[in-house]
Amino acid sequence: MALSRFFKKHGWRYLPGVVFLVANAMLAVLPARILGDVIDVLGTPNFDVREVYKGIFYTVLVAVLIFITRYIWRYFIMGNSRRMEQFLRHELFTHFQSLSMDFYNHAKTGDLIAYGINDINAIRMTFGPGLSLSVNGIVMSAISIASMGGDINGRLTLYALLPVPILIVLIVLLGAQVRARFRKVQEAFAMVSDRVQENISGIRVIKAYAQEDAETERFEKLNQNMLDTNVHMVKASATMSPMVDLVFGLSFTIALIYGSALVRAGTITLGEFVTFNGYLTLIVQPVRSIARVINLLSRGLASLKRYNQIMAVEPMVVDAVENKHEGVIRGQVEVRSLNFRYPEAAEDTLHDISFTIEKGKTLGILGHTGSGKTTLCNLLLKLYNPPKGSVLYDGVDIHDISLANLRGGIGYVPQDNFLFSTTIAENIRFFDDSVTQEQIETAAKQADIYDNIVDFPDGFDSMVGERGVTLSGGQKQRISIARALVRRPPLLILDDALSAVDAQTEQDILTSLRSFFEGGASGVIVAHRVSALMNCDEIIVLDEGRIVERGTHEELMRLGGYYADTAAKQADKGEGGEEG
C-alpha cells in the first residue's frame, strides 16, 4: 500500500512532532495553575508582591515555551502531512500511467479527479490536523482531569464531568453518520466534475446543436444534488458543536454551584476554584475537537478506502518480466494467427489474423468502420494484451519485450490526434529536450505542416490551446504525424491519420513518407481512402475482424472485391476529403 510505503520512508518525522506536541499540551495547562496560585497570594493580607511578579514571569516563560513547542510540532506534523499529500498524489498519478486502456474505457474523468484532489486532501487532514488534535486532546484532557481530581477536589471533578461521557457517545454516533454522508458528497463531487469536464471538452458540439440551456438544466440537477448531499452532511456535523456547548454549559453550572459551596466551606481555596474552572475550560476544546477529529477521521477513512480501491486496480498490460530484446525494436513485425476478444466482450473482435512486415516495408489496412483496424493497431502497441506467440517483433514475442523498448521504437498517430495545451514545438518534440529545433522543423516539413506553422504569429512557439482547439482537424493530424516522425522510429503506425486532409495534402505527405520508409523504417497505414494505400508493399482488407482480401494494389484491383469496389466508388465521387 502507498500509505505503508510513505510511513517506511517518512514516518519517523512524526516522532519529534508528537514529542513536542505532548510537551506543548503539558505546558498549556500550566497557566491555569499559575493564575490560581497568584489569586491565592493576592487573597492573603500583606502579600509579597515578588510572588506576583514571579507568577507573571512564569506566565511569560510558559507562553514563550508554548510558542516554540507549537512551532516545532506543527513543522513536523503538518509539514509531514503535506509531504504525505505529495507522495500519495505522485503514487496515484504514477498508477494512472500504468493502468491499461480498458480501465480508461470505463472510468469517469470526474471520479479520477476526485481521487487526486478531494480524497488525498481528506487523507492529509486525517494525518495532519486529525492526528494533532487527537494527541493534543488526549494529553491535555488527561493532565487537566488528573490535576482537577488529584490536586483540587475529586468529588467536584466527578460531578462536573458527569455529563461528558454521554456527550462523547453521542458524538461517536454522529461521526458514523458523517462518514456515510461524506461518501455521498464525494460521489456527487465526482459527477459534477465529470459533467463540467465533458461540457468543456464538447463545447463546440453543444453550441453547434444549441444545447446550452439543456446542458445547463442537466448540470443544475447535479449541482442541486451536490448541494443536497452537502447540506445533509452538514446537518449531522453541525449538531456536534452546539451539543458540546450545551453539555459543558451544564458542567460549568455544576462546578459553579458545588465549587462555590466548597469555597465557602473552606474545603478549597478561591485560587483552586479558579484553577479548577481553568482546567475545565481547557477540557472543552479537546472534547469539542472530538467532533472535528471524528469528522476528519470519518472523511479520511472513507477517502483512504476509495484511494486503496483505485490503487488496487491491476494493469492488464504489464512490462516484460524478462527483456529478451536488446534496445528498441528494429521494425520487423510478424503476426501469427491472432485472435483477440476485448474484456467482457461476448465474441472475438479479430479472427485468425496473420501477416509479416519486413524491415523497410509497409502494410496497408482497409476496412469499414468496426472491422478491427484500430484494435489491430492497439495490439501492435500492446495497449491490450495479444495472445502469447501471436505478435512478434524481430522474431521476439511481444510479451518478452519491455514496454519502453517496444513503444520507444514505434511512432504512433492515433485517430483522435490529441494535442497538449502548450506550444506547437513542445507538441512535436513531446517534451523531449534532446530533440533539436532543426529536427522539429524537418518533421514538420515531412508532415506538410511547416508552411502553416510559420504563418502563425508566433511560429513554432504558438500555443495550440487545450486539446489543440485553435487548430483545424487537418492541422492537428499533421502535427501528430510530425510528432511521430521526429523520433525517427523503426516502425510508424498511422491509424487513419490522413482522414482530415485534402487529396493534394495527402499526396504530399505520402510522398514525404515514401522517402522516410525508403530510409529503412517499416510502416502500418490504416485508411479509408484507397489513395493512401496504393503504394504499400502489401494491403489487407478487414471485414468483421477477418482478413478477406490481401495483396498489392494491382492484385486487389484485379481481384474485383471490396477493395476494388471501394476504389471505384471513391474515384466516381472524386473523394479526397477537405481540411479543417
**Three-class DSSP labels, 93-153:** HHHHHHCCHHHHHHCCHHHHHHHHHHHHHHHHHHHHHHHHHHHHHHHHHHHHHHHHHHHHC
Query: Is the confidence at residue 580, as pLDDT, over 50?
Result: no
> What integer pLDDT is reported at residue 425 of this predicted model?
92
Q: How confident is the model at residue 519 (pLDDT cuts 50, 70, 90)?
A: confident
Q: How confident is the model at residue 579 (pLDDT cuts 50, 70, 90)?
A: very low
Positions of CATH 1.20.1560.10 in the chain? 2-311
- Residue 51 CA to residue 39 CA, distance in Å, equals 11
What are φ and ψ of residue 476, in 5° steps?
A: -65, -40
> What integer pLDDT is reported at residue 271 of this predicted model?
85
According to CATH, the topology of domain 317-409+490-580 is Rossmann fold (3.40.50)
| Triad 574, 576, 580: Cα angle to 5° | 135
| Least confident interval from 87-96, 273-282, 497-506, 567-576 | 567-576
Q: Which residues contact 467 (CB under 8 A, 6 or more apart)?
A: 201, 418, 419, 421
> What integer pLDDT is reported at residue 112 of this predicted model?
85
According to CATH, the topology of domain 2-311 is ABC transporter transmembrane region fold (1.20.1560)
Ordered alpha helix ranges (H), 400-541: 403-408, 424-429, 437-446, 450-455, 473-485, 503-518
> What integer pLDDT is reported at residue 380 of this predicted model?
94
- Residue 502 CA to residue 448 CA, distance in Å, equals 12
pLDDT in tens, 188-232: 887 887 788 778 777 777 887 788 888 888 889 889 998 988 888
Q: Which of 245 and 450 is assigned the larger pLDDT?
A: 450
Q: Which of 499 and 398 is assigned the larger pLDDT?
A: 398
Neighbours of 97 (CB within 10 A): 8
pLDDT in tens, 400-454: 999 889 988 999 998 877 888 888 999 898 878 888 999 999 999 988 889 889 9
Amino acid at 185: V
Q: How confident is the model at residue 468 (pLDDT cuts 50, 70, 90)?
A: low
> What integer pLDDT is reported at residue 389 of this predicted model?
92
pLDDT in tens, 333-353: 999 999 999 887 889 999 999
According to CATH, the topology of domain 417-488 is Rossmann fold (3.40.50)
> What integer pLDDT is reported at residue 528 of this predicted model?
87
> What integer pLDDT is reported at residue 466 of this predicted model?
65
Q: State mean pLDDT over 155-176.
A: 83
pLDDT in tens, 100-142: 888 888 887 777 888 888 889 999 999 999 999 989 888 888 8
Q: How confident is the model at residue 467 (pLDDT cuts 50, 70, 90)?
A: low
| Least confident interval from 336-345, 466-475, 526-535 | 466-475
Provide Rg for the chain, Cα atoms.
Answer: 35
Q: How confident is the model at residue 505 (pLDDT cuts 50, 70, 90)?
A: confident
> What integer pLDDT is reported at residue 196 of this predicted model?
84
- Residue 311 CA to residue 115 CA, distance in Å, equals 10
Mean pLDDT of the chain: 86
> What integer pLDDT is reported at residue 575 of this predicted model?
58
Q: State mean pLDDT over 349-374.
A: 92
Positions of CATH 3.40.50.300 in the chain? 317-409+490-580, 417-488
Query: Is the confidence at residue 578, as pLDDT, over 50?
Result: no
- 121 burial level (CB within 10 Å; 0-12, 13-18, 19+): middle
> What integer pLDDT is reported at residue 431 of this predicted model?
79
- Residue 186 CA to its chain's centroid (Å): 14
Q: State mean pLDDT over 253-262.
A: 88
Q: Are 537 and 549 in contact (CB under 8 A)?
A: no
